[in-house]
Amino acid sequence: MGDMTNSDFYTKNQRNEGNHAGGFGCSLMELRSLMELRGTEATVKIQEDYGSVEGLCQRLKTSPTEGLAGVAPDLDKRKEVYGENLIPPKKPKTFLELVWEALQDVTLIILEIAAIISLGLSFYQPPGEGSEMCGAANAGAEDEGESEAGWIEGAAILLSVVCVVLVTAFNDWSKEKQFRGLQSRIEQEQKFQVVRGGQVIQLPVADIVVGDIAQIKYGDLLPTDGVLIQGNDLKIDESSLTGESDHVRKSADKDPMLLSGTHVMEGSGRMVVTAVGVNSQTGIIFTLLGAGGEEEEKKEKKVKKQDGAAAMEMQPLKSAEGGETDEREKKKANISKKDKSVLQGKLTKLAVQIGKAGLLMSAITVIILVLYFAIDNFVLQKRLWLPECTPVYIQYFVKFFIIGVTVLVVAVPEGLPLAVTISLAYSVKKMMKDNNLVRHLDACETMGNATAICSDKTGTLTTNRMTAVQCYVGDVHYKVIPDPSVINSKTLDTLVNAISLNSAYTTKILPPDKEGGLPKQVGNKTECGLLGLVLELKRDYQTIRNQIPEEKLYKVYTFNSVRKSMSTVIKLPDGSFRMYSKGASEIVLKKCSRILSDVGETRVFRPRDRDEMVKKVIEPMACDGLRTICVGFRDFPADPEPNWDDESNILSDLTAICVVGIEDPVRPEVPDAIQKCQRAGITVRMVTGDNINTARAIAIKCGIIHPGEDFLCIDGKEFNRRIRNEKGEVEQERIDKVWPKLRVLARSSPTDKHTLVKGIIDSTLVDQRQVVAVTGDGTNDGPALKKADVGFAMGIAGTDVAKEASDIILTDDNFSSIVKAVMWGRNVYDSISKFLQFQLTVNVVAVIVAFTGACITQDSPLKAVQMLWVNLIMDTFASLALATEPPTESLLMRKPYGRDKPLISSTMTKNILGHGVYQLTIIFTLLFVGEQIFDIDSGRNAPLHSPPSEHYTIIFNTFVMMQLFNEINARKIHGERNVFDGIFRNPIFCSIVLGTFAIQIVIVQFGGKPFSCSPLDLEKWMWCVFLGLGELVWGQVISTIPNSKLRFLKGAGRLTQKDEMPEEELNEDQEEIDHAERELRRGQILWFRGLNRIQTQIEVVNTFKSGTSFQGALRRQSSTTSQNQDVTNVSSPSHVSLSNALSSPTSTTAVPAGQC
């Protein structure tokens, strides 16, 4: 993978073997081979070689409890001997490689060939030059100076090709740089808990060294390999390495081997780090990948030739899923991910349609020109084709060919991918400031179409600062935390011990960062609330923890979503056992058969008492929006020792100590954010593990539900009862009865969340397919985050597993940041629509002008070089100008667009056609009667190589002026009147319009022969600008015409809709393949050979796809490969040539292409 090849490694290691690893008791190779063992083998090996894990720690000169001292020389030495914890990334593409890739563009190649032929012919002096026989061919070439200038046109085309290539390459280069920046930023953000010098500190993953003692807990993604020193109920998901989806139980005596890149699914523990970076298990796999990288690339090229798009689809999955799924599932995964981006599908389809039209037009143009020339010369004037005239005629044909290619160049909107990329990259960069870290580019745009948000309660809608505010202890319900003196001292001791010991020792309350601030809560927030209660009762939990350190805990049943409780067993001095338990009150109370009375004695607690307590204590607390936690305990005899694995018996017959009401206040900005969502047509649903009354109270405070409305608040049990049939299977029609009114789902398990999200997405109840966003922070939220159209993970409270499955990370865990994401998403969609509106107007006009002009006057009024300049204005510059409009609050005032709304709305179609009509009228007027209006020589029917005419210069100049002013019109797409609104908030736009204007002046006045321009005087300039300004006035006229009057526009706007819906259903089966094949049979493949231009469009898709496969790249070390493959995909337009894409009908790109 890295710059080191394997052989370098071994030589380096051999050197280390000699002096036994620079003074440490284990060499690098010893540790590497140790980490390859599993289970009992590993335990035996540790016993034989080191005596115990403690022995291993001694050899590594570290203490299992205190960790490393953390002094710089020692850390540096460890890095030198055992390596650093990072995997060197693959080298990015150089600028020259990107230039070469941009040159692969078919249209550019055609232009280059045309230009070279044109150059060659201009230097060739044909012998028949003087003879009259060649007819019109050489008229006008008498002027010596002029005929010599024939080379200029060819040279100018080449020059403009160079410009286009450099611009494309630069864009790709900056895009790749941005991705890498994002990647490294995410890598820096991942921290891990390590013990150094007896203190637990958060350390960036890259700084961890061999010998560090790392604390691992539920939800972590392990950054290194290690050996477990002590663990509580630890279960690991090793599927990313082994492909086995069952969770592996780890314990210090049976299977202590922990591997990098695996996920902690349950429990907690401490491990000693034994291998980092390229020497860890994930790292070794990478090194192998890296060594095979060159061969792989060669192979990949072969594969690409065979079935371009499909091969590319599979790549990211290989490294990301680690072979977990078989091929069929992978295909499914592809389809579901691809199905994601709404915009992507619409754009591809549109681009293909435009491309076809352009190709058709350019072919017809060339054919008409050639026929006209042939008929005129050889039929009407009855000339013979003389050998000496051949070069002259060929020169004409080359000229016609160049005109044809120019029409094609203008017709194909290659600025589209650019606009999309710029718009997304700009948004992603700006979204960082709004606390949204976007991991998959397309998520940003999908968010604009969101119709439903399923949000967690804790930490997203609330502040996640838990404070105990009420408690029920010793038969009394205290509405505020009581003075410790009123509680029986025995009860108080039991309570304080139960809370201090039965909570993760990583959970602490630290003094505030700044004077007068709130104390800092570290670790599990609910536990922090309970520890806060201990501190309010004037006790210190740390002294109790010091008496019984973590390794002395006899057995820990960690919290998981099934148990909904946590219990810890300790051994008392007399040999008997005591278990402390805490958890959701209704669950723990069911297991209680006794309760501590006001004098600290146990008395019987019957189901009748429990019901009364639920009514009198728990429900009132919950209705105040409090989370209720019950704390209890149970004593076991020393002999016989209970069977700790028999959980159902152990966790029963408890004695309740108290019930605590913990408040987690709603974030102040949330109600407002939720109101905005509702106004924007987005339904917010709360999905929480909390009690139903608590959830309802918080939902009312947030404004998710309003009293008196018709909505559902149900808990997981009721939800499952309603959606499952007698056999216990989930039925879609049952879900359809529940979800539209559902607003709060309480006491939900992770599967409930996943079922709900899937149910809403798959529902056909409403005519629009719902686009669902989900927030999650826990490991168990992974499946729902993956299933959702956009998954938001919490940056602060979120576990690595959740971040891995998500598309966007909320760096401040705040719901109002989601609203910002919606705003940006809609803005991306609008920016691209603005660009399309502008681009298509220019396209329509330029193509029609070139086409009719060529057919009537045998010469396009707009020359090849001028067309390329227009192309540059409308593609590169316009995409920059229109794609960087900042979002406004008004975006949230409308409903989402939905999946099947056409990309080009009827208002946009009206604008495109309206402005098209204006521009064509002006240009044709100038073309046919311009010489009379301005009293100048006509430029029509000018012979080959004649000097540029003022007449055609005026046409070119007016055309550009109209585009410039129309760019201002294009800023509004919903028929707003004031097109200047907010124009100064976008400095990029202003500078581009002014810059283009300045360059245009230079081109016209000093462009001369290469640009086919002759300088104009001030009066003519004023006319050109005046005709351009007419665009703004005409824009107002167009927006007065109501859409309803223009019935025919309805059809025009549905460019991309016709098979949007069937595609959805087809995705389920493999039918779509046959569908595509059937379409392709119609001889369309021939079209596409020439249509490779549309590669660029597919690049749009790639950019998005790379967003998609920009897979967990981010947080996974394995990322580096998948990422590097993807980044290359992003940056090269030539990755998928269309003909390849078509040969494999499975690939996405082929399907839309076939269907249009």
Residues recognised as catalytic: 456
The angle at the Cα of 704, spanning 699 to 706, to the nearest 5 degrees, equals 90
For residue 487, which phi and psi values (nearest 5 degrees)? Answer: -95, 140
The angle at the Cα of 438, spanning 837 to 678, to the nearest 5 degrees, equals 70
Give CA–CA dist 687/456, Å, rounded: 5
From the list 591, 594, 580, the residue with the least C-alpha distance to 527 is 580
Q: What does the radius of gyration of the chain's CA atoms come to, in whole angstroms?
A: 36
| Cross-strand partners of 9 | none
CB under 8 Å to 288, separation ≥6 — which residues?
A: none
From the list 434, 344, 417, 346, the residue with the least C-alpha distance to 886 is 434
Which stretch of DSSP H or E encloses residue 1136? none
**Would the CA dihedral through 717, 722, 725, 730 be positive or negative?**
negative
Compute the residue count for the chain: 1156
From the list 998, 1019, 1146, 1031, the residue with the least C-alpha distance to 1080 is 1146
Give CA–CA dist 19/125, Å, rounded: 80
Give CA–CA dist 35/262, Å, rounded: 14
Residue type, 943: P
| Angle separating helix axes 670-679 and 815-857, nearest 10 degrees | 30
114 CB burial (10 A radius; 0-12, 13-18, 19+): buried
272 and 56 in contact (C-beta within 8 Å)? yes
Residue 799's CB is within 10 A of a number of other CB atoms, namely 24
| Cross-strand partners of 794 | 810
Say which DSSP state 1113 is in: G
What sections of 23-71 are H helices per DSSP? 28-35, 39-50, 53-59
Q: How far is CA 1111 from the centre of its chain?
A: 8
Instruction: Give CA separation, 637 vs 569, 572, 601, 640, in Å.
Output: 12, 10, 19, 7
DSSP string, 618-636: IHHHHHTTEEEEEEEEEEE
766 and 452 in contact (C-beta within 8 Å)? no
- Where do we find the tokens 């230009």? 115
Dihedral angle at the C-alpha atoms of 784, 787, 791, 796, nearest 10 degrees? 30
320 and 1122 in contact (C-beta within 8 Å)? yes
627 CB burial (10 A radius; 0-12, 13-18, 19+): buried
The angle at the Cα of 101, spanning 357 to 96, to the nearest 5 degrees, equals 145
3-state helix, strand, coil in the chain (%, to 5): 55, 15, 30
Give CA–CA dist 714/914, Å, rounded: 54
From the list 264, 230, 232, the residue with the least C-alpha distance to 248 is 264
237 and 106 in contact (C-beta within 8 Å)? no
The angle at the Cα of 486, spanning 482 to 488, to the nearest 5 degrees, equals 120
